[in-house]
A = this chain, B = another copy of it.
């Protein structure tokens, strides 16, 4: 059987749109998604799940109502379930997200940025 690795750089090269996560793999009922982001996202939360952000390139700011965290390449952060947060990036940033299958990127928020996250790349 043929086994192939997933090369993140090659996958990122295949899309350019912002705030539209693309699935690259599944781990049990979790999905690994790549996203390019730039500008500000909406405040939102995920009531039922934590969310893992890994910064692959650029700088990701995650704001909370009572603080913030900045991620550079090779840094990660887990946003705990139920915690309101707003991701943003002043310049284009590439991130790897891991969260359960079916999670909507905007969580409980009502936004045009909502993406069901069912697009594979």
Residues of A within 8 A of B (CB): 1-9, 24-28, 30, 32, 49-52, 56, 62, 64, 66-72, 74-78, 81, 98-100
Contact = CB atoms under 8 A, between A and B. Distances in A.
A87 to B, nearest CB: 13
Please report whether the interface of chain A is mostly helix, strand, loop or mixed according to DSSP: strand
A68 B3 contact: yes
Given A1-B64, A67-B1, A75 B6 contact: yes
Given A28-B49, A50-B27, A77 B3 contact: yes
Contact of A7 (B3, B66, B68, B74): B74
A101 to B, nearest CB: 12
A9 B50 contact: no
Contacts of A4: 69
B100 A98 contact: no
Contacts of A27: 50-52, 78, 98-99
Interface centre among A5, A50, A69, A70 (most CB of B within 10 A): A5
Contact of A75 (B8, B77, B78): B8
